[in-house]
């Protein structure tokens, strides 16, 4: 099992540019989560999908952020336009169940985003 795959692993961009982060969940998993981790705010849930459908996007900071899951094996998190305060590590995680409370989440290695 390859685990959750994220790309790129590191991204450095300039303020105002569009950034797209990518995630491939573990095959067969039905739920996918996007998190952001910073020193100040810790690990925050941005959005999660169940069977490719967004279930809860209450953590998405503002309209500059958008996420899609066009199929069961791929998701993107887009920031447009990016700002320096978006600098963080972005994790994607997947879990096997139908978004039930006892699911274990499996995290990807993360994308370290730096916006200059």
Partner 1 sequence: GQQVMQIPQYQHVQEGEDFTTYCNSSTTLSNIQWYKQRPGGHPVFLIQLVKSGEVKKQKRLTFQFGEAKKNSSLHITATQTTDVGTYFCAGNFYNQGGKLIFGQGTELSVKP
Site residues (CB under 8 A) for partner 1?
A: 31, 33, 42-45, 48, 50, 55-56, 91, 93, 95, 97, 99-110
Rounded distance, CA 83 to CA 109, Å? 23
Structure tokens at 89: 């590590």
User: In residues, how long is the chain?
Assistant: 116
Rounded distance, CA 110 to CA 95, Å? 16
Residue whose CB is less far from partner 1, 75 or 95: 95
CB of 17 to partner 1, least distance (A): 25
CB of 20 to partner 1, least distance (A): 20
Residue whose CB is less far from partner 1, 22 or 56: 56
């Amino acid at each position: 099992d390859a685990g959750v795959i994220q790309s790129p692993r590191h991204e450095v961009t300039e303020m105002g540019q569009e950034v797209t982060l990518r995630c491939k969940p573990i095959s067969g998993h039905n739920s996918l989560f996007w998190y952001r981790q910073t020193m100040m705010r810790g690990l925050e849930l941005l959005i999660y999908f169940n069977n490719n459908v967004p279930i809860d996007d209450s953590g998405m900071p503002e309209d500059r952020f958008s996420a899609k899951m066009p199929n069961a094996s791929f998701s993107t998190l887009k920031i447009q336009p990016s700002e320096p305060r978006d600098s963080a590590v972005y994790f994607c995680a997947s879990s096997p169940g139908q978004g039930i409370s006892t699911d274990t989440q499996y995290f990807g290695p993360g994308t370290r985003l730096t916006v200059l």
